[in-house]
Amino acid sequence: MRTGGRVVSWSLALAALLALVVTVSAGIGPVWIPPAAVAKVLLEAIVVPTAVDVSGTTLDVTTRPLFRFPVEDLQRQIVLQVRLPRILLGAVVGFSLAAAGTIMQGIFRNPMADPSIIGVSSGAAVGAVGFIVAPMAFPFGLGLRGAAFAGALVAAFGVYLIATQNGRTPVATLLLAGVAVQTFLGAVVSFLLLHSGESIRRALFWLMGHLKGATWPEVWTTLLLVALPFVGLLAYARDLNVLLLGEEDAQSLGIDVERTKRLLLAFSSLVTAAGVAVTGVIGFVGLIVPHVMRLVVGPDHRILLPTAALAGASFLVATDTVARSGAAEVPVGILTAALGAPFFLYLLRKREVHEL
């Protein structure tokens, strides 16, 4: 089967799996809702425009549901207003972390690379904890998430500047600069926690990574911030395949190596920052999922990137469902680490994780 056909078939299969995971997850909680009822609520939420009224600068669009089913109003409210924002935010964040992890492992040609390797997560942590300890004004009410997003981008840009000399950014230097900046920012976070006083519980909760309290505006904002750079990553997936041959060989094959690395780092940093800023630090999704999907679909990034992203979405939704289903909710970042680390060690022992 040709590459385009494989991309479509794998993506459709994983999208169907994601839809199934979302449907089951939306039914699980203090009030059990059967999957059939959840499916009816979700289908009812699909609307089509029936009329458009333009008066001056105001655009008024009238819609109606495409499907109608007899569903209890309480079930509809629970699914659409309580559970679905959290589930979809988890899907978007899992999508972003797995996509960024795939790109980072390709750029660094290192199976241990993940989205935080150039300091994005540490930068977000400094921004978020700094805001919690000393709140400041952000436009449009962005607050904590705006501080985390800004911190993530500043850290990534700083690492890139440190590692770049004479227009070249050696991968080894970028990796070492990322490690050094991560260590420094970790020290800053520790210092801020020491002086956080009564805010330490809120700061630690953010650092553990969680999806609690997700809202529809957060879902749409994160989706927009992830979708645009992800399209850029898809556009450079073929060039990333060529980079795996080595930078000299890629240059001889017509690839502008430095420009390609710069764009891939920028897009993956944006994708990671958008996810981390809204949920806190959630580890192992960007490390484990690309490895698993590489074993399934192969190393071609034109197939691996979209499939790993969709698998990451399903993984985080399923993990968060488990995290919130116990007697006491556990931050999903704890669960992804608890599940991801043993699984990664299993892959290492089975020699399934090797050089790219």
40-49 pLDDT per residue, tens: 999 888 887 7
Check residue 328 and give its pLDDT. 82
What integer is the mean pLDDT of 306-312?
Answer: 96
What is the DSSP-derived secondary structure letter of residue 212?
T
Check residue 91 and give its pLDDT. 96
What integer is the mean pLDDT of 31-40?
Answer: 92
Instruction: Write the pLDDT tens digit of every residue in 142-153.
Output: 688 888 888 999
This prediction's pTM = 0.90
What is the DSSP-derived secondary structure letter of residue 280?
-
Check residue 248 and give its pLDDT. 85
Task: Please determine, for residue 355, whether its predicted confidence score (pLDDT) is greater than 60.
Answer: no
Check residue 139 and give its pLDDT. 61
Q: What average pLDDT does the structure give for the chain?
A: 88
- Whether the CB-CB separation of 340 and 283 falls below 8 Å is answered with yes
Check residue 283 and give its pLDDT. 84
What integer is the mean pLDDT of 305-321?
Answer: 96
Report the distance separating Cα 102 and Cα 305, nearest Å: 6
How much of the chain, in percent, has pLDDT values that exceed 90?
Answer: 45
Task: Please determine, for residue 60, whether its predicted confidence score (pLDDT) is greater than 80.
Answer: no
Check residue 311 and give its pLDDT. 96
Residue 119: pLDDT band with limits 50, 70, 90: confident
Highest mean pLDDT among 20-29, 36-45, 195-204: 20-29
Q: What does the block give as tokens for 171?
A: 């991968």
Residue 281: pLDDT band with limits 50, 70, 90: confident
Task: Please determine, for residue 9, whether its predicted confidence score (pLDDT) is greater than 80.
Answer: yes
Check residue 229 and give its pLDDT. 94
- Whether the CB-CB separation of 209 and 282 falls below 8 Å is answered with yes
Residue 22: pLDDT band with limits 50, 70, 90: very high
Report the distance separating Cα 121 and Cα 182, nearest Å: 8
- Whether the CB-CB separation of 103 and 120 falls below 8 Å is answered with no
Task: Please determine, for residue 23, whether its predicted confidence score (pLDDT) is greater than 60.
Answer: yes
Q: What does the block give as tokens for 216?
A: 């529809």
Task: Please determine, for residue 354, whether its predicted confidence score (pLDDT) is greater than 70.
Answer: no
Question: Worst-scoring range by mean pLDDT, 25-39, 161-175, 231-245, 333-347?
Answer: 333-347
Report the distance separating Cα 336 and Cα 287, nearest Å: 11
Task: Please determine, for residue 114, whether its predicted confidence score (pLDDT) is greater than 80.
Answer: yes
Per-residue burial over 209-244, b = 16 or more CB atoms within 10 Å of its CB, e = otherwise: bbbeebeeebbebbbebbeebbeebbebbebbbbbe
Task: Please determine, for residue 232, whether its predicted confidence score (pLDDT) is greater than 90.
Answer: yes
Beta bridge partners of 52: 61
What integer is the mean pLDDT of 17-44?
Answer: 93
